[in-house]
Amino acid sequence: MRSGVTVNNSRVAVVVGGGSGIGKAIAGALHEDGYRVTVADVNGPAAQAVAAEFGGHSEAVDVTDEARVEALFTGVREREGAVHVVVNTVGLSGWSPVVDHDVAQFRTVIDVNLVGAFLVLKHGGRVVEDGGALVSLTSLNGRQPGEGLAAYCSAKAGLSMLTQVAALELASRGVRVNAVAPGLVITPLTEGMQVIPGVTEDYLDNTPLGRAGLPEEVADAVVFLCSDRATWITGEVLDMNGGAHMMRYPRLRTHFAGLL
């Protein structure tokens, strides 16, 4: 059991994007802290596999489908009797210079990362119990631009502000709304980038602590923000990147040049 975190055996959590990577680690950490966890993911079999590890429920959900997102939260509330914690970890990226960016691709990245996060906050915020917590995963790219990442950076910056607006609006119910902004974490979302020569090294050269993060480390931060140890924290976007936000972002165009 994680030391210093309140155990809530009667509490219910929903982890959206919990089928792999950081979301999977968060789902497991919340279960370990005693939450009854529903794992939702666009990849239904992956969500089912994660939930099966601890006897939780799973749902196949596309966060850009509002009807499906709404049904997820109303269904969990009806089945469990309440929702106390909502965590959204869904992410999608791509690479293209602004002047060459396909509009449809740009919209897809915005839809998944920002509109999807809005829908989770909207419908999760409607059903979450007073005094509950909502946490989103934004990114180092919410504050640090990267060449070729116009859509992703824009979406994550927007999510940081959306987090603060939602925190203002839900504060009267005692609902806390926060975000965690990881830097380089080794997950399925980042594995494609890691095979490009020089990119990972450039990241780590610009990370004062000199290493990538682990999904479990991000999960620990999320569990804290959901716990009774964080009842006076809201509207926070927690930088969690080994200090990389104090330095520069990798020069992606240089590393990608030989692949274009």
pLDDT at 9: 60
Catalytic residue among 35, 152, 203, 249: 152
Residue 6 lies in a domain: no
Q: How many domains does the chain have?
A: 1
Q: What is the DSSP letter of 1?
A: -
In a domain, residue 7? The reply is no
Confidence of residue 7 (pLDDT cuts 50, 70, 90): very low
The per-residue pLDDT for range 204-221, each reduced to its tens digit, is 999 999 999 999 999 999
Whether 34 is in a domain gets the answer yes
Q: Is residue 43 part of a domain?
A: yes
3-class secondary structure for the chain?
CCCCCCCCCCCEEEEECCCCHHHHHHHHHHHHCCCEEEEEECCHHHHHHHHHCCCCEEEECCCCCHHHHHHHHHHHHHHHCCEEEEEECCCCCCCECHHHCCHHHHHHHHHHHHHHHHHHHHHHHHHEEEEEEEEEECCHHHCCCCCCEHHHHHHHHHHHHHHHHHHHHHHHHCCEEEEEEECCECCCCCHHHHCCCCHHHHHHHCCCCCCCECHHHHHHHHHHHHCHHHCCCCCCEEEECCCHHHCCCCCHHHHHHHHC
- Position 198 scores a pLDDT of 85
CATH of the domain at 151: 3.40.50.720
Q: Give the distance, in angstroms, between the CA of residue 197 and the centroid of all CA atoms in the same chain.
A: 27
pLDDT value for 260: 54
95 within a domain of the structure (yes/no):
yes
In a domain, 31, yes or no: yes
Q: What is the pLDDT of residue 259?
A: 60
Q: Do residues 163 and 237 touch, judged by C-beta distance below 8 A?
A: yes
Tell me what percent of the residues of the chain surpass a pLDDT of 90: 86
The residue-averaged pLDDT of 176-181 equals 98
Given pLDDT bands bounded at 50, 70 and 90, which one contains residue 1?
very low
- Identify the bridge partners of residue 16 per DSSP, sorted by sequence position: 40, 88
Owning domain of residue 75 = 12-259
Whether 193 shows a pLDDT value over 80: the answer reads no
Which pLDDT does position 88 carry in this prediction? 98
Residue with the bigger pLDDT between 1 and 93: it is: 93
Whether 93 is in a domain gets the answer yes
| pLDDT, mean of residues 80-87 | 98
Percent of the chain with pLDDT over 70: 93
What is the rounded average pLDDT of the residues 39-49?
98
Report the greatest alpha carbon distance in the chain: 55
Residue 35: active-site member: no
Residue 188 lies in a domain: yes
Q: Which residues in 194-230 are b (16+ Cβ under 10 Å) and which e?
A: eebeebbebbbebbeeeebbebeebbbbbbbbbbeeb
User: Among candidates 242, 179, 186, 238, which has minimal Cα distance to 214?
Assistant: 186
Average pLDDT (1-30) is: 81
Mean pLDDT to the nearest integer, 120-125:
98
What's the rounded mean pLDDT across residues 123-148?
97
